[in-house]
Structure 1
């Protein structure tokens, strides 16, 4: 039994498929993966013995700036990615029994699977990516903000935008494969039975007519890596610190600096994580103890599963992986969402569940490079997240978070393939 997995994005987009790959191999399946050619992702797949079929340019080229490419550049980038997928996927899928594609960027996946006659599964990591009247579509960089306010209308406009962006390229390549044209690109990619790899307690699917969603739970693996000795020494030297990181994104320099200042001003130690984008979040903030203020310590990539339970709060951008890891640890969160993808959705879930505080961007420009929230707003957010109630609610939620999502998905897929 062979399975091809595919995702195009940062570490957070690929890591859930890594978890699925490990669980599928536990069921005796051979696994391959299509992913960006970034060195870190290639090394991650090599570590688990999964063959990489590189697709598209390195994602780091998009995430390491403080501004996204222009709308025209993003459109060209997306079209070229679809063309590349049609060129690479057939070889990667050769001899496989199924293709599991994660994210809307996988426009070519279903067509190539259809031409090969293999099982196709679309998976989303957040409910907000799937159409429902209960929520609006997520922000899509490069497209103008729609003026409608009704969620159904917004999803209709979203579908039209996707057709305009991908329809001609998709149907041209389908014709070359001898396949009929597609009238609705989004519904074609999603299917009427998509999978949702998100925890039901943290990010539940709202029942929606016409879409039979299979929610498996989030896909992750236990991480047994020890923390670096110098980090352990810092953690043991005082009260639990507040962790500041923005994952694969590079926000404006002021955001990290002001967060560090606001946290230390309230008497808390700070742990700054540079993240995948290697962002200098602390800016000119000094490390160590100074002027009778709590210390600030900087680290690179470390084991969040082992770290987050040792913190007083986690400050982040609203990524699915960071939100879920903090929730599993029972640690309050302060979310400063970038107006990208599912970041605002996860920020909303943190607010609804009362497990932290959210800065909604009303005092700053939306986008990856917007200015930092004001000192007053930051101070209020940290007081809210560090209050006893947020900690109690976070710990209560942690007891409801599932850890078997990848195994549930792997077992389901293997059972389906065996039936076929």
Structure 2
């Protein structure tokens, strides 16, 4: 695809985003605030919300505060716990049927990015009556969603603040994005108590997911002064708080900081867009079911390296803002330190450098899908092609036995 055409598309989208109206959700934030979500339901005359979550959160009793508060305040509800990592079209269809069978009138998303994304598209399908795959791409959702509240239980996707939902077609193993301003929830709740028992591996991978959102939003072509402000602040918080939160998960001040960083990163990328890290991560997730945050964490340094020639000044600024460099270094040297620090963060939190699941025979197919997703959609600092992606995938794959796999504690 012609690079000039791609850049014209980037600039056109940048202009469109600047005139779009983004809804401003109601916000509950702070320790224990998930037990106040019932007030939002009563205020908005919601008689019977569908709570969209997964079985693990129910088993861990993390959802109990929300459920008990609704029960105590006579808000009727039903729980759909059929969400899986990398939610599928079948998950959504099952959720829609459950909503209709139980005569629900609103939706509460409770969980990580998978639960929130699944809930968004359940809600979209309720009012839009269209095939899920036909929503793929930009601005295909015509009608307003039912009242939707998002309650994140990880500090990673920022989905509570974004126009995006990522769904997997289980028949083709394709992960595809649905983007529309109508997918921004009516309200969201940032409650650090919900993250207190988050395992270390998930703390690490979701935190690096948020870092990826912030960096890609900042170094891409479509940033504005507003998105840059959110992105830089998110990067600063993550550099300061993620490792500490990983080591001390019960520290609710750190958990709140990471929720805020994830939210800021979400606000940045939903307006400035993402980049090739996500194109690669989506396709690794679709083909090998690799968790999205983990895939982003592994891929991020590789894409920063190949983008450095076009984005080293922005990377250098991030290095200075996070306080990891001396001003005596050149911008290119500061960018190198920044990338090295990300690799070091991954190492300290047990995130591997490679994805051994990648099969050599899959690389041409993956590279083609990555190029198709990334060009011209993502306003990246350096435009890459299929051959470039094949080289990067071989680096990410590493010199591995095809029977090796990612350690299970990082899933």
TM-score, with length taken from structure 2: 0.30
Higher helix share: 2
| TM-score, normalisation: structure 1 | 0.30
Structure with greater Cα Rg: 1
